[in-house]
Amino acid sequence: HCQSSRATCSQNHGKLVAQKKLLFTCIICLVFLIGELLGGYVAHSLAIMTDAAHLLTDFGSILLSLFSLWISKKPASKSLTYGWHRSEILGGLFSVLSIWVVTAVLLFIAIQRIINNDYEIHSSAMLITSVCAVLVNILMAFILHQSPVSHGHSHDHNNTSVRAAFIHVLGDLLQSLGVLLAAMIIYFRPEWKIADPICTFLFSILVVATTTKILKDIFRVLMEGTPPGIDYDSVKDTLLSVKGVKATHSLHIWALTMTQHQMSVHALIDEQTNTHTALLDMIKLLQTEFSFHNITIQIEEYTDEMASCNECHDSMD
């Protein structure tokens, strides 16, 4: 009980640190998001608006990370036996689709500008806004930068949330540097104002590419697919490596959220083997190799007739 209590305290401390980092970053992100939208409007710059759209993905991602840390504290119920964890995935889906709508609108306006060439860019406002964007992204990256001392297993989920937000901010920093470059070009060469809609095209591709990866991960979770980084055959081989385990079937591996991986399997045990010992060995190996959040193993007695039974052996490609 003492070890469990210490582990719980350590986990709660890790969550608190992660929440503080994410909350502080979220506030900065929201304040500057509003400022960047205003700056883009004043400068008549679509490139800044596109950068703001990317910043909106960061804001949504950080909000979802905060939400996942908060929702993980809520207990499951009889009607929601897994709790509210999957709502993080649904929120991510809504966020991605919203960003795509905004990006499509900005692309349409960029095409109109290139065709009609009836727009003016206030280069000074664009330059000031883009410089601020770079500085704010550097500040957010500094806040989210992981401490080298927190590598314990109890902090895995918290580190994952902060690390994901950190990667998003780095992506936005690169885009902000691109907008700054476009702003400098237009500032010194106003006749090259086409750099603004061109940047909008390039950064829209970046936004879609970034969010497409997120959408694929969301789709995999909603379809109960095997999580990335976990090999189905490796899990099966690990089970079969346990003494007394003759075969497996109905092996299912899925993810409740991006970080909570689950598995269930039917294990056929030799009748001479102690089933309790085999069960403990399987669980220990699976936790060591794959760190599943939840493991369900149904023990069945193996007989010689099962050797030729197709239903008693998994045959997935």
227 lies in a domain? no
Q: How far apart are CA 92 and CA 103, in angstroms?
A: 17
Q: How far apart are CA 240 and CA 242, in angstroms?
A: 5
Confidence of residue 13 (pLDDT cuts 50, 70, 90): low
pTM score above 0.75:
no
Cα distances (Å, whole numbers) of residue 234 to 68, 231, 256, 293? 29, 5, 20, 17
Confidence of residue 308 (pLDDT cuts 50, 70, 90): low
Amino acid at site 160: T
Same domain, 184 and 296: no
239 lies in a domain? yes
Average pLDDT over residues 265-271: 93
Which pLDDT value is given to residue 309? Answer: 63
pLDDT above 50 (res 5): no
166 lies in a domain? yes
Question: Of residues 119 and 236, which shows the higher confidence score?
Answer: 236
Domain CATH number, residue 291? 3.30.70.1350
The conformation of residue 269, written as its DSSP 8-state character, comes to E
Same domain, 121 and 174: yes
Which pLDDT value is given to residue 311? Answer: 61
279 lies in a domain? yes
Amino acid at site 62: I
Which pLDDT value is given to residue 161? Answer: 66
Average pLDDT over residues 205-232: 88
Question: Of residues 97 and 226, which shows the higher confidence score?
Answer: 226
pLDDT digits (tens, 9 = 90+) for 110-169: 888 888 888 888 889 889 999 998 999 899 888 887 544 344 444 444 456 677 677 778
Of the listed ranges 115-124, 217-226, 299-308, the one predicted with least confidence: 299-308
Same domain, 161 and 116: yes
Same domain, 39 and 163: yes
Which pLDDT value is given to residue 3? Answer: 37
pLDDT above 50 (res 103): yes
The residue among 222, 240, 255 that closes a domain is: 222
Same domain, 119 and 241: no
Same domain, 205 and 256: no
Which pLDDT value is given to residue 307? Answer: 62
Which pLDDT value is given to residue 100? Answer: 86
The residue among 222, 250, 285 that closes a domain is: 222
Same domain, 46 and 131: yes
Same domain, 106 and 152: yes
**Which structural domain, as residue segments, surrounds residue 258?**
232-312
317 lies in a domain? no
Residue 285's CB: how many other CB atoms inside 10 A? 15
Confidence of residue 310 (pLDDT cuts 50, 70, 90): low
Q: How far apart are CA 54 and CA 37, in angstroms?
A: 12
Same domain, 208 and 92: yes
Confidence of residue 266 (pLDDT cuts 50, 70, 90): very high
The residue among 192, 222, 252 that closes a domain is: 222
Which pLDDT value is given to residue 153? Answer: 43
Same domain, 240 and 166: no
Average pLDDT over residues 72-76: 77
Count of domains observed in the chain: 2
Tokens of 227: 């999580």
Average pLDDT over residues 178-183: 88
Inter-residue contact 50 to 200 (CB < 8 Å):
yes
9 lies in a domain? yes
Same domain, 273 and 140: no
Which pLDDT value is given to residue 241? Answer: 94
pLDDT above 80 (res 65): no
Same domain, 170 and 249: no
94 lies in a domain? yes
Sign of CA dihedral 133, 135, 136, 140: positive
Question: Of residues 204 and 1, which shows the higher confidence score?
Answer: 204
Which pLDDT value is given to residue 303? Answer: 80
